[in-house]
Amino acid sequence: MNALVEDLRTSPAHGGAIPRPVAQARLALLGTGTVGSAVLARLAAWQDSGFAPGLQLAHVANSRRAVDGEAGLAPGLARARLDGSDQASRLDDVPAALRGAGKSIVVDATASAEVAARHAAWLEQGIHVVTACKLARGTSLAGWQAVEVAKSRGGSQYGDAATVGAGLPLLRSIRDLRAGGDRIHAVAGVLSGSLAWLFNHYDGLRPFSGFVRNARDAGYTEPDPREDLSGEDVRRKLLILARAAGVALEQEAVEVTSLVPPDMAALGRGEVDAALPRLDPLLRQRYAQAYKNGEVLRFVARLEQGRARVGLESLPADHALAGGAGTDNRVAIWSDRYRDQPLVIQGPGAGAEVTAAGLLDDVLRIAAS
Ligand SMILES: NC(=O)C1=CN([C@@H]2O[C@H](COP(=O)(O)OP(=O)(O)OC[C@H]3O[C@@H](n4cnc5c(N)ncnc54)[C@H](O)[C@@H]3O)[C@@H](O)[C@H]2O)C=CC1
Ligand SMILES: N[C@@H](CC=O)C(=O)O
């Protein structure tokens, strides 16, 4: 914490988390990796403190196994129960596991296209979906529209705060501006937490590939870091933001400049780690050029004048998009009311804990609605 800012946790006025009465809701958590484990940890902490007592964990699954708990699984024990379970993970079983009193909510903490393909069907059945996975809304326009149609048919809600900015109030701000009558003119910024971290740390001296391994091990990258390095993950985030802003973009409309050499893009997942040093020559050269110009490298997404593009840019160090530290996303939004000076939103844009918090904020919002 910044020493100039008083730490409110130690202030006498700080009262801790207020127990929150939540109407009963049954949750199915899909994915117990980096993000899913943090969801379980947050639910376990809530259970200990008595916060949000109405939430009941009815089903937990990873790609191989599943475990059900009709009366609710203890979040702190769910991983151990899952590891010892002989129940196979089957997406067809999810609706039945959620049957019971209160709202039914699927929490998608996977990176699975197969799970994303179920979102619309669940919504249509009245099951709410909260997701960190961008594949349902950030790929084809038809996929995005299918979610919209299914929500209105099923009277269900879709919590997507964690899909962009790991829960930062980005989508919410764009939707609030539009709900207040504003048109969104442009959006530009750093949308990748892992790439932000990489370009905040890379010094042109040590190999870029080593930093990629560190970002992966810290849980900032996608399960396959090429998703980040190729710009594909940022493309999905920009598409989600653009569509929320009222711009119905097809995924091919985003110009993406990848950092991944073609020979590395073609490799199998298991071969990626050994091939990471293939990134080093291009990044060393881009860094040296930027350094010579007194600039910094940032991986930027832009939606301006109907044109959408994503790629590495060399920016003056005092440029509005160059600020921030760590995994910070930094996004500028221009609208009718923010015509000259944009609204700028900055904060950590990757990491298990912030993402889990973003997912559970959406769960609480839906449970309370
Ligand atoms: N790591 C981060 O900082 C952030 C991640 N996200 C998103 O969160 C999602 C999860 O990311 P990680 O936790 O890093 O991935 P991970 O690879 O650590 O975990 C993925 C989990 O999904 C499970 N899974 C795969 N297919 C499944 C299926 N059919 N049914 C049930 N479970 C299945 C896997 O077994 C694993 O437990 C991704 O979509 C990612 O884009 C979003 C914001 C930030
Ligand atoms: N891999 C992503 C994680 C969040 O979506 C990123 O680096 O931003």
Per-domain boundaries in the chain = 19-168+353-368, 170-348
DSSP 230: T
Q: Is the CB of 192 under 6 A from ligand 2?
A: yes
**pLDDT tens for each residue of 98-142:** 999 899 999 999 999 999 999 999 999 999 999 999 999 999 999
Pocket of ligand 1 (CB under 6 A): 30-36, 61-63, 89, 109-112, 114-115, 132-134, 162, 166, 193, 219-220, 222-223, 350-351, 355
- Pocket-testing residue among 34, 134, 221, ligand 2, by greatest number of atoms within 8 A of Cβ: 221
CA terminus-to-terminus distance, the chain: 34
Report whether 32 belongs to an annotated binding site. yes
User: Given pLDDT bands bounded at 50, 70 and 90, which one contains residue 70?
Assistant: confident
pTM for this predicted structure = 0.96
Right CATH for 170-348 from 3.30.360.10, 3.90.1150.10, 3.90.25.10, 3.20.20.330: 3.30.360.10
Position 2 scores a pLDDT of 60
Q: Which of 141, 203, 193 is nearest to 168 (CA)?
A: 193
Position 161 scores a pLDDT of 98
Report whether 355 belongs to an annotated binding site. no
Report whether 110 belongs to an annotated binding site. yes
Asked if pLDDT for residue 323 goes beyond 80, the answer is: yes
ipTM above 0.90, yes or no: yes
Q: Is the CB of 138 under 6 A from ligand 2?
A: no
Provide the percentage of residues in the chain whose pLDDT is more than 70: 95
Position 23 scores a pLDDT of 75
170-348 has the same fold as 19-168+353-368 = no
Fold topology of 19-168+353-368: Rossmann fold (3.40.50)
Atom of ligand 1 nearest to the CA of 66: 31
Position 22 scores a pLDDT of 72
DSSP letter for each residue of 155-190: T--EE-GGGSGGG-THHHHHHHHHHTTPPEEEEEEE
Report whether 114 belongs to an annotated binding site. no
Q: Range with the lowest mean pLDDT among 12-21, 328-337, 353-362? A: 12-21
Which positions are annotated as active-site residues? 237
Contact 131, 162 (CB under 8 A): yes
Residue 227 CA to ligand 2 center (angstroms) comes to: 9
Position 15 scores a pLDDT of 62
Atom of ligand 1 nearest to the CA of 111: 39
Position 12 scores a pLDDT of 57
Dist. CA 196–CA 191, nearest whole Å: 8
Residue 349 CA to ligand 2 center (angstroms) comes to: 7
Position 127 scores a pLDDT of 98
Position 20 scores a pLDDT of 72
Residue 161 CA to ligand 1 center (angstroms) comes to: 15
User: Given pLDDT bands bounded at 50, 70 and 90, which one contains residue 62?
Assistant: very high
**pLDDT tens for each residue of 4-36:** 556 666 665 566 666 676 778 999 999 999 999
Q: What rounded mean pLDDT belongs to the chain?
A: 95
Asked if pLDDT for residue 332 goes beyond 90, the answer is: yes
